[in-house]
Amino acid sequence: MGISTDAKLMVGFNYNEIPKNRKEEFNEMIDDGTLDVASPWYDSDRQHWVVGLPILTNDDEGVELPKLVEIINESTAKFFALTGIKGKIFVSPNVT
């Protein structure tokens, strides 16, 4: 068993900010891969996760600022369309 550590740039919010009446809906989107998560430490509880959409992946090698702004705007709009919630930008560790 190994531990993998990287970081994620995401648009979303903290798991504990999910409205109580929508927890099941969001859990389904997490479980089916519609929404991504970042876990700040190994085996952390969901309440500590960042939930959202990735802005860049580990495969992206440097992006110029105008392109990054475009990607952020697209990701923010997609997140809002999926959830009805305005997301925030996070750079989070992801330990799995």
Domains of the chain: which residue ranges?
Answer: 5-95
pLDDT per position as a tens digit, 16-43: 999 999 999 999 999 999 999 999 999 8
Q: Are 75 and 55 in contact (CB under 8 A)?
A: yes
Q: Please give the single-letter amino acid code of residue 2.
A: G
pTM: 0.86
End-to-end CA, the chain: 10
Residue 91 has pLDDT above 80, yes or no: yes
- Tell me the pLDDT band of 1, cut-offs 50, 70 and 90: low
| Residue-level pLDDT at 58 | 64
| pLDDT score of 31 | 96
